[in-house]
Homo-oligomer: A and B are copies of this chain.
Amino acid sequence: ASEPASFDILTSVSSLSVDDRSLQTQIDELALFSDAPAPSVTRVLYTDKDVSARRYIKNLMKLAGLSIREDAVGNIFGQWDGHETQLAGVATGSHIDAIPYSGKFDGVVGVLGAIEAINVLKRSGFKPKRSLEVVMFTSEEPTRFGISCLGSRLMAGSEALEKALQQTVDSQNVSFLDASRSAGYMRDHDDLSSVRMKKGSYSAFVELHIEQGPILEAEGVSIGIVTAIAAPASIKVDFEGNGGHAGAVLMPYRNDAGLAAAELALAVEEHVLETGSIDTVGTVGVIDLHPRAINSIPSKSHLEIDTRDIDEMRRNSVVEKIHQSAVAIAKKRSVILSGFEIVNQDPPALADETIIRAMEAASQQLNLTHRLMISRAYHDSLFMARVSPMGMIFIPCYKGYSHKPEEYASAEDIANGIKVLALTLAKLSLY
């Protein structure tokens, strides 16, 4: 008796209705779990605010009738059993952690939207064949431990990360393991390898996300269908000099670690621009000086650098040039290049053809304008692609703003994204 309903939805998409009001309330309420004053959001892994927000998400999953499971690092799974539970499931999800002083849509739209997509399908009378699963990933943002997509990297089986996390500490010298335990994870017998996901556990993984770029808004297009995710790399650099008194040490006798940092920051920009490709980007988001006093020559500097490209080899050559510049600057300024750590240097990911076709078909059926595009930001999808066919749905956001309080997506655009997600999940569930 359940079969007809399953097929109905694919012919009668008008039955898909998003509860706009509840969703807006949820977005606003989730934003209150923040360590920065509104409209800024700061929600960092395993802090009290993160733990409260996780409780909020699990409650919504429960209200949606999902059965909930958490793994050793706090990836949260909410499952709606299909009628063929022996088949690999179809998963969707994103993250809710937020970098300091950012906004309330990045990641959140793909978690709250995934739960609402389940509600949409339930309200429409749809019954899944393959199980549908909502995933909330742990620490997509690198804020606390310098590791981006921590949860999905572990799910994708990064043994290097499993090993590194035994030693990893945050800037306050709190270890990953202690922080994790204080949030209720990594209990006595938990093992990081238990987070690994078998390849083939999911037949598809789809992530809904704001574009974080200006294209959809500028072109007036409702839905972006991601074909590839650019390859990210991140680097930490440390310089050391002799420091000294800002008045007493004359210019020829200085080796200023702060000026070395300033030069390297400008060199990053130069190397990115000299590829000549619009697709290469590079950013120095962190420059820390020590002792950080107006009347003291910096004796230490620390930079954190992010560079990405859709072309992995070109991206790697930028990383190499940044290294060469760091060495040359250190030599020229007689400072020591005391650290040059490539924290991660990931390949790009391609979206799965079948999922792309399902998302295109869903957009068409819903009468929504859509286009293929590249994701320049990375996402947990970059790592899910290692263990599952992957696809991403983008929606427009105001001026392309992200990672700042002005980040915004309209209720209508979010609802459109959720409908496309719901219909795509339905199709993939029956596939």
A-to-B contact residues, CB < 8 Å: 99-102, 141-143, 146, 148, 211-214, 230, 232, 234, 242-253, 256, 258-259, 261-263, 265-266, 269, 272-273, 278-287, 289-299, 304-306, 308, 376-378, 400-404
Contact = CB atoms under 8 A, between A and B. Distances in A.
Within the oligomer, what is the number of copies of this chain?
Answer: 2
A282 B254 CA distance: 11
Given A258-B284, A259-B284, A286-B289, A248 B296 contact: no
15 contacts: A99-B293, A101-B290, A142-B293, A142-B294, A148-B295, A214-B253, A234-B294, A245-B403, A246-B285, A248-B376, A249-B281, A251-B281, A253-B400, A286-B293, A295-B403
Given A141-B295, A213-B249, A261-B287, 12 more contacts: A146-B294, A212-B247, A243-B403, A244-B401, A250-B279, A258-B284, A259-B265, A259-B284, A285-B291, A285-B298, A296-B403, A297-B403
B299 A306 contact: no
B294 A304 contact: yes
A147 to B, nearest CB: 10
A295 B286 CA distance: 9
A402 to B, nearest CB: 4
4 residue pairs, one from A and one from B, having the closest CB atoms: A247-B377, A246-B283, A212-B248, A262-B262
A431 to B, nearest CB: 31
Contact of A266 (B253, B259, B292, B403): B259
A273 to B, nearest CB: 6
Contact of A289 (B142, B287, B298): B287
